Amino acid sequence: MERVVVVGGGLAGVRAVEALRKKGYEGALTLVSAERHRPYDRPPLSKAVLAGDSDDTTVDADWDALRCELLLGERATALRPDGPGRGGVVATTAGDLPFDGLVIATGATPITLPGDGRQHVVRTIEDARELRGLLTEGARVAIVGAGWIGAEVATTAAKKGCAVTVVEAADTPLANALGPEAGALTAPWYAEAGVELRTGVKVAEVDGRGLVLAADGAAGRIDADAVVVGVGVRPDLGWLAGSGLLLERGVVTDASFRTCHEGAEPGTPGEPRPDIVAVGDCAAWWSDRYGRRLLVEHWDTALNAPEVAAATLLGEDAGYDAAPYFWSEQFGRMVQYAGNHAASERMIRRGDTGGRKWALAWLTGDRLDAILTVDRPRDLVQARRAIAAGASVDPDALADPDVPVRQAVR
């Protein structure tokens, strides 16, 4: 392998570059990034950058030592692969880039709402800086979506003295991420912070004055000086149209992050491509642990999965099956989650969920599937180990907040 192209300048892209060199790849290496900045971390954008505590989250990478050509401010526009194992060409705004190996790490783009009014998202450093300038005392801020991003933006805006209203289509915050029962436990945090939370309300459009609502058949509105939309993201796959790769909510890969052509039957995988891998927010990778494909849009996966993708590209036998992990800082609390509870049988509470420190655990039988902790970092660390090991636990002991999680493991 003599020419590797990495498409995507986020954390997954830079970690793929580092992993390739670490594993002994000596050939040509090019990273293509649509952003003009060197790769930077995104989690601080809705936290420290928005708050004004930081203005630079650039990833610490020695690009000279990595011997990687950076094509910043350039976009991939198409992929023309040759046969499996034979590379191909990435078409970009800087010209065609032939490759023997390709890492697809183009991430995701925020979903926006209908209407011609200004909508702010928090995806790039420019997004965060622009919104930060609008969060002034007394400013009316309307946030659509009571998910992780919405809660973090609401936290900062309220601290800055803004009049904040959060609108959520579901009946509770975090309903999609945690489920309505768990999400409901976070609803009181909004009122505590002086934020108005309106659930079960859908937004029809964003206009020049703010939000136009449509709830129970009756239209209403929320006037705002700034509208922030945090209703999710979609993998950035437009440039892969016509490539022949199987795309289904993301770039479909196996557990080694190998992509594949679309099979004879639409929507089914064909022959895997060891010369084209995909990682990060755009990859829908197969998890043996959970028996299905996962599309994990979080920092921890972008940090760790590229090492496996790089090994695969270099012909090593490697697989990735980590339990997902992420965190959020909101309303003065550190919220952490590990595992996947999509198929769990029950949820148990660990501590007083009306207090400041508590946790939720999801189980199937006596196996610990996932945990959510609120200001209980030790619980998170110990539970994460148990989840990784597929450990069984004593549910009664786990429900007792005075019993360390490790002592509840059987």
Distance CA 247, CA 196 (A): 39
The answer to whether the CB of 327 falls within 8 A of the CB of 336 is: yes
CATH 3.30.390.30 in the chain is located at: 332-408
In angstroms, how far is the first alpha carbon of the chain from the final one? 47
332-408 has CATH 3.30.390.30 classification: yes
**Which residues, 6 or more positions from 153, have their beta carbon under 8 angstroms from its beta carbon?**
46, 50, 122, 131, 141, 143, 228, 230
Distance CA 233, CA 252 (A): 17
* pLDDT of the chain, 410 residues: tens digit per residue: 899 999 999 999 999 999 999 999 999 999 999 999 999 998 898 999 999 999 889 999 999 999 999 999 999 999 999 888 789 999 999 999 999 999 999 999 999 999 999 999 999 999 999 999 999 999 999 999 999 999 999 999 999 999 999 999 999 999 999 999 999 999 999 999 999 999 999 999 999 999 999 865 556 899 999 999 999 999 999 999 999 999 988 999 999 999 998 876 666 777 889 999 999 999 999 999 888 899 998 899 999 999 999 999 999 999 999 999 999 999 999 999 999 999 999 999 999 999 999 999 999 999 999 999 999 999 999 999 999 999 999 999 999 999 999 999 99
Distance CA 223, CA 9 (A): 36
Nearest alpha-carbon partner for 143 in 328, 134, 125: 134
pTM of the complete model = 0.92
Return the pLDDT at 290: 87
The token pair at 182 is 């768990």
Residue with tokens 């659930």: 199
Query: Which of these CATH numbers, 3.30.70.260, 3.20.20.70, 3.50.50.60, 1.10.357.10, describes 112-229?
Result: 3.50.50.60
Output the CATH code of domain 3-109+233-313. 3.50.50.60
Nearest alpha-carbon partner for 310 in 284, 269, 273, 279: 279
CATH 3.50.50.60 in the chain is located at: 3-109+233-313, 112-229
